[in-house]
Structure 1
Amino acid sequence: MRLQTVLILSALFLCDAKIPRLKYTQPNQLPTNSAQNSHSLGFQTENKNDKTNQIVDQYRTRHRRESFDSKAYESGLIWAHTERLDENSDVILRWVNTDSTITFRLEAKSHGYVALGFNSARNMRGADLVVAWVDDKYGNAQILDCHGLAFDDRAVADEVQNYELISGYQNDTHTIVEFKRQLDTCDRQDFVIGDDTIQVLWALGPPGSDGQLPRHVESGFRPLRLLLPLSKPDTVPLEHWDVRINNLLIPNVMATLFWCKVFKAPELGQKHHIVGYQPIIDSKPNTKDKTILERNTHSPVHHMVLYECVEDHDKTQWNEWSESEGFFGPARPGELATCVTPIAAWAKGSKGEFLPENVGIPLGEKGGISYYMLEVHYDNQALHDFFDNSGIRIHYTPVLRDHDAALLGAGVGVSALHVIPPKQKAYRTVGICSPECTNSTMPEGGINIVSVLLHAHGTARKISLKHIRGTEELPRISEENTYDSRYQQSRIVPGGRKFYKGDTLITECTYDTTSRDKPILGGYSATQEMCLSFILYYPRTELAGCYSMTPVVEFFETFGVKEFYGLNMMQVENIFLSSGYLENLPTELEAFTKDRVVDPTGWEGDDQGVGLMKELVIKEPLEFRNKTFMAHLNEMPWHEPLLTEQIEKTLYSGWHMTFCKKRDDSWGAPIQIQNYPNYTEITNNDASDKSCNYKSVKLHSTTSTSGSTTINTLTVAILVICVIAIIAR
């Protein structure tokens, strides 16, 4: 009781002392926002103007370090990650995170404001925005937590300021600011930073735009994942092996090109371990027969995969291939089909990967692999001439790690039988790695999954790798709920995942084709689609690939087709099982085969049956007779939801043809046709299941205390007394 009396009396004196007689204005306070400042990154001047000005006024009098002489204070943090946000490296973002917070350093070539934003879309509407500047007159840094309006490209100040400034200053060319925030602020006006890919937005104001926030002069966005694990450098020296194409001319008549090049492994006297890889992007555009010297400008390299090849005792032919320039994908020698085990898989936007410290992929093993094949996919939709010398740098070491690791490919078999209808917001397809395959190829103790690279093309929005044991779904091994094909970085599986014999893998992709007018077929071209998972695991097994696709008869029946001219369903199925190559066809289709060879521009990657879809002529039923199957697909009423929902349900949860391929190009299990597995789906995949209730809360002060009910009651009492004193005054 005495303590309460003392606190109350102290509060009275304190309140009296703190009541200002004259309004004091700081020299570097935020300027009042007027109509002239209500542009793209300005405050709205109509309904929300009064509310915003109130927030700004409150912001002026805050006692946290939002404004100060920042040159006297530097964080001294070691930044875990660094990315350039623009092509010219004028905007650099560095960051480091803990389990609950994330700290940024933004370095921008600007003397105006600098803004950073986070959103699931590639624009500022509804985005979480933070705007910072350094006062030109006093050199003091300031920061403001904002958000983009839902239906207008404008920003307004948040009701609660959840970004905390650490430091900020300007030099002759750049503005540099450091700030931090909670990963989840429990504030609906802030973006929750999690494991998914997000669109990182940036904007630069004109010189002298300190707090006025006029329309930006430069802006952009980049997809990134901010919560990436740290790659620990090896404590032993690493050697590297550059596997790269040699000055290949990418012709301007082909929008899609697959190139395959055989390489001979380094001569190593003992087994080594591959511990990481990085892309080498080296493309030079050729304009009017004059090669532009700048490299990497809009490189057509879309993705690259390095495969192990089955050992051949007759190495003469393989040596010749390794010394050649390589082969156009569909015209490569048949023996290269034995190069099926992926070693490194890179896709656009990735920086590569370094493996966890306990695993390595064998290289130069006694009696092991001597030849590898690099497969490069070039996406040249702009039809430019390029000279390319791209490839992959393989890092390896003689210091062996605890476990031999390997990559496993899984998902939907790349084929024109993989159809995604147009005008769909969230259309799903799946590829199954069957329990028969895992039961016949995996050890008794199972395998340990380390990381996953999820891969699809431009219309994919979600990808997940599901894990089924018996009739129960376990937590997802890996998933991406905001997939962006321009940023395909492998994902570490936290703590790893134990996967046993008889378990099932399901790769599920969700596509948004609302902007498309015609169906999309599966294939290697960037205008087509894929649904794949590249899974890093240990211990190494003989399994190289585990896929599925819709059986041919069931596929065509789903679209109402029963019979074609010239080919029966068994022949059509054999074509698709041979990767879509048209060989030994009936005379009725010889003309098509000739046209296909004469006109290579019609090829899309390795084709995979895409060309056949355009040539198959329907015989039955009568209502579709004499139409090509592709024309039939294009004419279907895709705007009818009952139709598309039924097709999705049939192809998703119906029959699947499963494939189980071993490293020596043999079958690990017979090809089977089986129904979609019956299992109980998990209802919530979030392990933490955090619930914020989204209350408006402020960041904790730098000196955090844990209050009790008594202290909270005293605080309320003191505040009430202060208010009474102010009113009485």
Structure 2
Amino acid sequence: PKMQTSGSKPCSCPSFRLREVASMYFTMVAVFLVILVVALQGSVPRGSTFPYKVPLDPQGLLELSWNVSYPEQAVHFQLLIRDLQFGLLFGMSDRGEFEDADLAVLWSDGHNSYFGDAWSDAKGQLHMDSQQDYQLLEAWKAPEGLYLLFRRAFSTCDPKDYLIEDGTVHLIYGILEKPVRSLQAINISAIHRGLQRVQLLKPNITVPDMPSDMKTMEITAPDIVIPGQETTYWCYMAELPDGFSKHHIIMYEPVITAGNEALVHHMEVFQCAAEFDSFPYYNGPCDSKMKPDRLNYCRHVLAAWAMGAQAFYYPKEAGLAFGGPGSSRYLRLEIHYHNPLVFKGRRDSSGIRLYYTATLRRYDAGIMELGLVYTPVMAIPPGENAFILTGYCTDKCTQLALPAAGIRIFASQLHTHLAGRKVVTVLSRDGRELQVVNADGHYSPHFQEIRMLKEVVAVFPGDELITTCTYNTEDRSQATVGGFGILEEMCVNYVHYYPQTQLELCKSAVDAGYLHRYFNLINRFNDEEVCMCPQVSIPQQFFSIPWNTFNRDVLKSLYGFAPISMHCNKSSAIRFPVSTASQPKFPSKTPSSR
């Protein structure tokens, strides 16, 4: 787990001697709170509300609900176990591993049942924790199963505990199907187990009043049969009514077919490009050869949902425009089904419900791309544990493109491909970091959603927005270049803001001329030749490099200091007059997740 160090939020920790005494006491009383599951009586805790809910396992046997208390700096969990056998492991780890994990364990020896806070070492062996930070508050039986209610502070000062932060949290679970004589006797490699990704620390959003003329529109799959395979991306084309005038989307929420809650992983609604008069109807897998190529021009995100997310609300001042002149009538729904148990014959009509109004709000909301340009000049060597690339939206671009009153960022969607591990965007002014716009230190490319920010971020002309991505390529044998392919890489933050401006893309890449100098240098210092013939592409040149320490370090230096090529683009793809620039200096304060 992410160890809790002195760099974490300050908290009051017991002295070593006090903790030692506490440990001895817990050992004397068998360490764990004994609960007799068969004799449990009780009712649902009065006054408890759990607004967030997610199935942990594909069958829906384990259902987790939770709430977040920022005043207490704690999360309350309610776990429903529909078919309790001999126990359960629930916890958190850096990326969903069962090694170095922070766990709450319920287990039975066949006579008594026990609950306690535990941790696993690098070999997966379980140990009791001398500091019991998963606090069991209540347990009760109900017709649908056993409920456990427990509490966990964000930060516990326990080096064996996971630090709960903003961004993605990898939740893990394991089901005990046989009695075990002790905690240490649990063999985690032999149990049924899995992981679920969520954003635990949801922002406290004030829900705006909804207008009286609000209408709804459901963009849903037409009763399809979910394919009997682990992963499916399903595409469905829908149309707005003829003559549909300009409206504002002010809210959206998921529509999940009952019984499929554990299979529908994430969904997006895209609007198609306005320059095409029509788009062909399609209802089928997104990767099918039968899918018309024109559907690739349906890329403008109207709504995005991922498992565990709630309804998305626009601020009361703004709405996302759709319909009317210059807006396509055609929409594409994309649903990711995660079906690891390979259920066959499941029918589904899931999708997204849009709430919209003809009474336009004061501002149109806009979406702007920050980060790196999709180009092979930005590359990651193979075998890297944490390789960093940074994209800039420079002061020159914001000075030209933003209104004097600035813009307000209220939501963000981070995006990389498969090698991405961390993403952070910071706002910088006059060379100083002002605030983190959005950061995810446990980012997963398999869990991408539009997240409402805890506070609106004001960006003014002359400000800089710096987006940094961290990649892991330890499983790759050749360089990973930037691009659109799934095995190529991206570093993007789609920020949602108001009022809408002409600036749709504010990104950078290292200057290609300096990359050519890098290839020249590598040729001079290596016995093997990197082919630099004019007809050889940049990816091929990267693929031919022998990745020794020198070649890696020089590339890192190049990306750190070479001038950058700025892309400061209008929605029409016409650029604002900003091009090559010297690389901005990192702000004097850097975010902890970089």
Shared fold (TM-score, shorter chain, > 0.5): yes
The answer to whether structure 1 residue 114 and structure 2 residue 88 are counterparts is: yes
**Aligned partners of 2:67 and 2:235: how far apart in 1?**
39
- Identity of matched residues, %: 21
Structure of larger gyration radius: 1
Which of 625, 636, 639 is equivalent to 2:545? 636
C-alpha deviation, 1:268, in angstroms: 4.4
Cα-to-partner distance string for 1:414-459 (whole Å, 9 max, x where unaligned)? 2333321111121111222233332222211101111111111221
Tell me, yes or no, if the aligned pair for 2:319 and 2:361 is still in contact at 8 Å.
Answer: no
Decide whether the 8 Å contact of 1:265 with 1:372 is kept in 2. no
**Partner Cα distance (2:386, 2:521) in 1:** 25
CA contact (8 A) 1:256 1:526 kept: no
Matches within 5 A, 1:185-264: 185-209=156-180, 214-215=186-187, 217-229=191-203, 236=210, 239-243=215-219, 263-264=239-240
Task: Tell me the secondary structure at the aligned position of residue 482 of structure 1.
Answer: coil
Residue in 1 that maps onto 2:75: 102
3-state SS of paired residue (1:642) = helix
2:251 counterpart residue number: 276
Q: Is the 8 A contact 2:421 2:472 kept in 1?
A: yes
* SS at 1:188 equivalent: coil
How many angstroms does 1:534 deviate by?
Answer: 0.7
Give the secondary structure class of the aligned counterpart of 2:579: strand
How far apart, CA to CA, are the structure 2 residues paired with 1:557 and 1:520?
20
Q: Secondary structure at the match of 1:111?
A: coil
Q: Which has the higher helix share?
A: 1
Write 1 or 2 for the structure with the bigger share of strand. Answer: 2
What letter is aligned with 1:106? L
Q: CA deviation at 1:411?
A: 1.5
Q: How does the TM-score come out when normalised to structure 1?
A: 0.64
Match of 1:653 in 2: 561
Change (3 A) 1:562 1:683: closer
Q: Aligned pair in 2 of structure 1 residues 456, 399: CA closer, same or farther (>3 Å)?
A: same
Describe the superposition over 1:574-614 as per-residue Cα deviations: whole angstroms up to 9, x where unpaired.
xxxxxxxxxxxxxxxxxxxxxxxxxxxxxxxxxxxxxxxxx
1:58 and 2:28 aligned? yes
Indicate the residue corresponding to 1:559 in structure 2. Answer: 519
Deviation sequence 1:221-263 (CA, Å, 0-9, x none): 2222211125666754753334568899999xxx999989684
Structure 2: give runs of 5+ residues left out of the alignment: 1-19, 524-529
TM-score, with structure 2 as normaliser: 0.77
Summarize deviations over 1:494-530 as a string: whole Å, max 9, x none.
2211100121222211111122111112223322211
CA contact (8 A) 1:348 1:485 kept: no
CA apart distance, 1:397: 3.4
Q: Say which SS state the counterpart of residue 669 (structure 1) adopts.
A: coil
Residues 679-723 of structure 1 show CA distances to partners (whole Å, capped at 9, x for unaligned) of: 53314659xxxxxxxxxxxxxxxxxxxxxxxxxxxxxxxxxxxxx
Please give the alpha-carbon distance, in whole angstroms, between the structure 2 residues aligned to 1:133 and 1:437: 58
| Secondary structure of the corresponding residue to residue 513 of structure 2 | helix
Counterpart in the other structure of 2:11: none
For 1:230-379, list aligned pairs within 5 A. 236=210, 239-243=215-219, 263-264=239-240, 267-268=243-244, 271-278=246-253, 304=268, 306-307=270-271, 309-310=273-274, 318=277, 320-321=278-279, 342-344=300-302, 346=304, 351=309, 354-363=312-321, 367=325, 369-372=327-330, 374=332
Distance in 1 separating the partners of 2:567 and 2:226:
33
SS at match of 2:577: strand
Which of residues 676, 680, 688 is equivalent to 2:583? 676
Which has the larger displacement, 676-685 or 438-447? 676-685
- Aligned to 2:392, the other structure's residue is in SS state strand
1:80 corresponds to which of 51, 55, 67? 51
> 486, 489, 492: which one pairs with 1:532?
492
Q: 1:183 to 1:351 in 2, by over 3 A?
A: closer
Q: Secondary structure at the match of 2:251?
A: strand
Matched to 2:580, the amino acid is I
Whole-Å Cα distance in 2 between the matches of residues 345 and 511 of structure 1?
Answer: 27
Are the counterparts in 1 of residues 377 and 538 from structure 2 also a CA contact under 8 Å?
no
Aligned to 2:120: 148
CA–CA distance in structure 1, aligned partners of residues 209 and 570 of structure 2: 34
8 Å CA contact 1:142–1:165 kept in 2: the answer is no
The answer to whether residue 574 in structure 2 is matched with residue 662 in structure 1 is no
- C-alpha deviations, 1:445-494, integer Å up to 9, x for none? 10111111111122111111121222222222111112111122333322
CA distance in 1, matches of 2:305, 2:521: 36
Q: Distance in 2 between matches of 1:246 and 1:408?
A: 32
Alignment of 1:122-161 (within 5 A): 122-133=96-107, 142-149=114-121, 151-161=122-132
Query: Tell me, what secondary structure is at the counterpart of 1:72?
Result: coil
CA deviations 1:18-68 (Å, max 9, x no partner) are: xxxxxxxxxxxxxxxxxxxxxxxxxxxxxxxx9999565434599x99779
1:430 matched to 2:358? The reply is: no
Q: Which whole-Å CA distance do the structure 2 matches of 1:345 and 1:642 have between them?
A: 45
Q: 1:436 to 1:248 in 2, by over 3 A?
A: farther
**Residue 365 and residue 152 in structure 1: after superposition, are their counterparts in 2 closer, same or farther (change >3 A)?**
closer
Partner of residue 426 from structure 2, selected from 466, 473, 488: 466
CA distance in 2, matches of 1:180, 1:297: 24
Where structure 1 has 5 or more consecutive residues not aligned to the other structure, the ranges are 1-49, 283-293, 564-615, 621-625, 687-729
Q: For the residues of structure 1 that align with 2:31 and 2:419, how far apart are their CA atoms?
A: 48
> Which of the numbers 521, 546, 554 marks the counterpart of 2:481?
521
Q: Check 1:371–1:494 CA distance in 2 against 1; reply closer, same or farther (3 A cut).
A: same
Q: Distance in 2 between matches of 1:324 and 1:175?
A: 44
How many residue pairs were aligned? 548
Provide closer, same or farther for how the CA distance between residues 74 and 448 of structure 1 changes in structure 2, counting only shifts above 3 A: same
Q: 1:78 to 1:390 in 2, by over 3 A?
A: closer
> 1:65-96 CA distances to partner (integer Å, 9 max, x unpaired)?
97796413542311121111111111111111
Q: CA deviation at 1:155?
A: 1.1
Q: Secondary structure at the match of 2:576?
A: strand
- Bigger shift: residues 409-418 or 242-251: 242-251
- 1:137 offset after TM fit, Å? 6.3
User: What is aligned with 2:410?
Assistant: 450
> For the structure 1 residues 157 and 666, does the alpha-carbon distance in structure 2 shift closer, same or farther, using more than 3 Å as the test?
closer
Specify whether residues 230 and 372 from structure 1 end up closer, same or farther in structure 2 by C-alpha distance, changes over 3 A only.
farther
